[in-house]
Amino acid sequence: MLTRLFSFAVLIFLVGTGCSDPANHANTPAIGGSASIQGQPRMALHMSQTYLTDETRLEVSVDRDSALSAPRWNPGDANPPLPAADALRLANDALAKLTVPGISNPWNLDHIELRELAIPRKNKESCWCWTMVYHQLANEHEPIPHLEIRVLMDGKVFTPSVIEAPIHLEY
């Protein structure tokens, strides 16, 4: 079996009339993936997938309701509402509780990013989240596994789910 390791991020743009009004999407199914908070599926805004093997991937997404309820940040302001050090502490705490099949080595922080989430809004305010990217130490001739953890400006943490499913490509 060939081992694949590649990552891609899919920004989900919500298209349609009134998409900036949360009431219009109360019962809308997930687009491109979903996050679950307290067992309720939510509309996914931003999804990232990392393939560990042909049958296993890590998937993390942020739901629209959580993003809309988080404090706003304007890049022209000095600092985001949630400092990077606090976001990193929250992500590290979540990472300590995360189990990834086939991974026994510790995860190392690779980098931290501020990412804007694509949410059409009437007032043009943007939603931002911290993204912590972790990687494993590389074995010779092996791909380097990595994962992402997202932290909203209110401190809500989104960790990846382990998805056991073969990749099916249709042509």
- Cα 101 from Cα 160, distance rounded (Å): 12
For 124, other C-beta atoms within 10 Å of its C-beta total 7
Reported as a single tens digit per residue, the pLDDT across 108-151 is 999 999 998 877 666 666 789 999 999 887 666 666 788 899 99
Query: What is the pLDDT at residue 167?
Result: 62
Q: What does pTM read for this prediction?
A: 0.68
Cα gap 49→8, rounded to integer Å: 6
Residue pLDDT, tens place only, 69-89? 999 888 888 899 999 999 999
Which tokens go with 57?
Answer: 């991937």
- Sketch the domain layout of the chain as residue ranges: 7-164
What share of the chain in percent tops pLDDT 90? 28
| DSSP 8-state symbol, 25 | G
Instruction: Give the position of tokens 């629209």.
Output: 64
Which pLDDT belongs to residue 77?
A: 86
pLDDT value at position 22?
34
